[in-house]
Chains A and B, each alone.
Chain A
Amino acid sequence: QKEVEQNSGPLSVPEGAIASLNCTYSDRGSQSFFWYRQYSGKSPELIMFIYSNGDKEDGRFTAQLNKASQYVSLLIRDSQPSDSATYLCAVNSGYSTLTFGKGTMLLVSP
């Protein structure tokens, strides 16, 4: 059974701070990793993906991957109240499907 673990939160950060969201996965064969953002009552939307060890930056977002530790994280710099949402980590293990974590709720206070 492939598992993806996330702290459910909520993670509360003040506006302008760095938010750090973490995810661990059980399948060592996992090849690519996705971060989705889901606003309340809405569908998930992709923020970014990563498949190589190290960091990948896209604007205020940085994804970090450490395959040896089976760990992936998402950093959000200069957090804004509009970043308040649930962030879902998803893992592609080389088949046609993704395994999702339960998500971490992020609250950014003005």
Chain B
Amino acid sequence: NAGVTQTPKFRILKIGQSMTLQCAQDMNHNYMYWYRQDPGMGLKLIYYSVGAGITDKGEVPNGYNVSRSTTEDFPLRLELAAPSQTSVYFCASSSGTGLRETQYFGPGTRLLVL
């Protein structure tokens, strides 16, 4: 199993450009998450999904959009990139919401908006 994969690893965007960060998991997990992590900060939840066709906002959703058409994939769309979106983006997945359920993280995408 590859686990959670993310592409690209690194990207430079110009202000106003758009892009999609890809995330895929092969663990048949229903729950998927997008986080951003700024230097010296913890993880902030952007969006999450509890299954195909179901998404919900997290703590910092502004400037982002998501879709979940399959169990495996959960892309994150940035529209009109801004310097404030410079960050490291992590995708994660888990199998459920039980007390023991663990989130497994992808390797991250480092995004620089200039």
Asked, given contacts A32-B100, A44-B90, A102-B42, whether A96 binds B50 with beta carbons under 8 Å apart, the answer is yes
The answer to whether the Cβ of A100 comes within 8 Å of any Cβ in the partner chain is yes
Q: Are B42 and A88 in contact (CB under 8 A)?
A: yes
Number of interface residues of B (CB under 8 A): 25
8 Å CB contacts to A: which residues of B30-51?
31, 33, 35, 40-45, 48, 50
Q: Are A96 and B107 in contact (CB under 8 A)?
A: no
> Of B45, B100, B106, B108, which is within 8 A of A97 by CB?
B45
Q: Are A96 and B42 in contact (CB under 8 A)?
A: no
Q: Are A43 and B105 in contact (CB under 8 A)?
A: yes
Contacts of B90 in A (CB 8 A): 43-44
The answer for the CA separation of A34 and B99 in the assembled complex, in Å, is 10
Q: Are B103 and A98 in contact (CB under 8 A)?
A: yes
Give the interface of B toward A (CB within 8 A): 31, 33, 35, 40-45, 48, 50, 56, 58, 90, 97, 99-108
**9 further interface pairs, Cβ-Cβ under 8 Å (given A96-B56, A97-B48, A102-B42):** A34-B103, A42-B107, A43-B90, A44-B105, A45-B105, A49-B99, A51-B100, A95-B97, A102-B40
- List 28 A-B pairs, Cβ < 8 Å: A4-B42, A34-B102, A34-B103, A42-B107, A43-B105, A43-B106, A43-B107, A44-B43, A44-B90, A44-B105, A45-B105, A46-B102, A46-B103, A46-B104, A49-B99, A49-B100, A49-B102, A51-B100, A90-B103, A94-B97, A95-B97, A96-B48, A96-B50, A97-B48, A98-B103, A100-B42, A102-B40, A102-B41
